[in-house]
Structure 1
């Protein structure tokens, strides 16, 4: 089976017609992609179509290496700072609009197969040379490389570098004939061979793999938790759960359920037995409720220290319209969204603070101070207005921000007044300056966004940019009362798809009986 496209490329390479400059090569690839997208594939035969898909996949896999090389060069030269981004991840996720997950994936790929430079300017070989060579040959794709990296990350630290290199080469060779899922199975067997009884793993390996991640909230405002506990943490956690997650204890759906630890003084044995009989929760639900009760205990007993800073308290912002409608979403200083109904129960014993804004703007009327550091009252007002870091594209919650001065406090005119402050995370606060690659800030003075802090790369005349991430859903058209009023009317007609829905679907897979028509013998 021959591929005319591959043959034509080989001919071009043979006569040396390709340019040498990256810009010209990229322009040629871009033009070829545009031309290929406009070219009809109908005249192609079935064998040719299969050959074309194989060639396209080989190009895609090779492009993984090209992308990694570009990213390494951007990182080594700090080129991302020219566009105002603090690090390569931010440039990928925001500048190229890849998102956090894909940006992390690209960085892991570059770390695995890229050729970085040391402080002396010398080019270092790839960390996984066999994988990098397979990617360059087009036999291994990004998912294969990530599987190889994940497997090698589990190799015990006491295994010699030579054995690890041999394992990487073996995985890269296997990847040429397997899909990523099957390659993972090969990796599991390889790990079992290197450490058959788990005795090679030591304290250093466990510390390297430890971690707990709280994933983002979903549409129901729930979030999943994933991670790996060390044996020490698990042992301690199980002891706590034995006392706090016992049946009948800390049941939020049972107002008569005892709270705290089952071993506490004053626990009524009869009340506990009755609560245990009413307890229909699963073990997982009891674990969740035990964590909730532990958090309540820590917050109520000053476990976070003196409440003179917002991170030491549970602080939530909500509009009076949402409270009146008893619908909508409130926001905590740590970035968690809480339904208004749950907020009302949570805030039964709360101390309210009132932040007053100018009509239809984000401008706090006034709160001034002579000292450099913002007061707690000013921080509360900043939270009500900014909700998080004000730098464009930054999703850091307010609890991880500092009070940023615009203009700077040490400059003439610098002051610690609410109309000269904005929330900024530590990285972005330090990124403000007058040099190339830094940011400059200002407080908008007119329009519906008056009072909000805006950013732009320093030494440029680019438009001032706001951060919409923390204010999603705050537009009047998305307000609960407006939304409910709109939803009470008849639903809008859904536009029909051109040619009918089936026109844009892949053909259904043949059934088992239909497959027998292609030569399969029936029983």
Structure 2
């Protein structure tokens, strides 16, 4: 390779990818050696209590690092029984991907934790996802997969779990009022719906997010005092978006999805439905939401609800941002004749909205859903991708 100072950004990225893959292959070889040492009982042979103490003295690893890598070795390396039989590793697909240099140690830690709660058949799917996304996104995918595999929740005959208690702690100290709360998902979502619009940063706003949210909470308190016996926010209750299957709502079995990505037990959803206006979303035969096009650039509340129901958050592949952190992006720019309707809009968080405007990522609609084609330096074939975390 040419001198780093003379290389182009794409050349540097290609070289970095090669180095990282080589490093991850080397990390797997380290894990294999640790697995062999563990299998041979090397610590006892050397007079040590365990390998953690061995590594502390020979490699100068902190115990936390040693425990992490020993745990990885136990999941990724085959074992040999006292009779000489070879037993395949607990996570063979994860081991193979790390051996190829496709997964980092952080990926392995996330997938090993997730597979403890998933059936073995899910391993191929989570590994395929992790090959294309960062560990944080892989963790969210595994969480969503676990929900999908057990979406019906407990059998009807099972006793309902005891309702969680809402706890608020208040204390005056040094002329300041200290407040902490532990609330259920329903109340937390309502509070988020109140605070988030008021906590948006103003132009040249010097406040950090905790300070903006604190000021927003003060505004909510003022609104409540001024509202008196009236409803807050123009005489209407705060609105939540809840995506729910009608049959599940009717039978009170399973969970529904809030617009912040959290799952809510059906008994709580039924409680919300008793005291809320129902805004139906008509779905087509392929779960496609019908067009509610508008001739203006602005996205009204009804159209945004349609986008929330379809995208369920930032539609960019691997992003976990919920709808409340997203903006509606015109796939074909409005200034270039693009329409303001569901077929030309996609929810994107601020980071990925900027990316859509300033990079070579391309967005298209396929079967009523947004797909994303990466730049060639990420994937030379530009294979389209979707956000499988938010799939309906």
Q: Please report the TM-score for the alignment, with normalisation by the length of structure 1.
A: 0.38
Q: Please report the TM-score for the alignment, with normalisation by the length of structure 2.
A: 0.48
Question: Comparing both chains, which one has the higher relative contact order based on Cα–Cα distances under 8 Å and sequence gaps of 6 or more?
Answer: 2
Q: Which has the larger radius of gyration?
A: 1
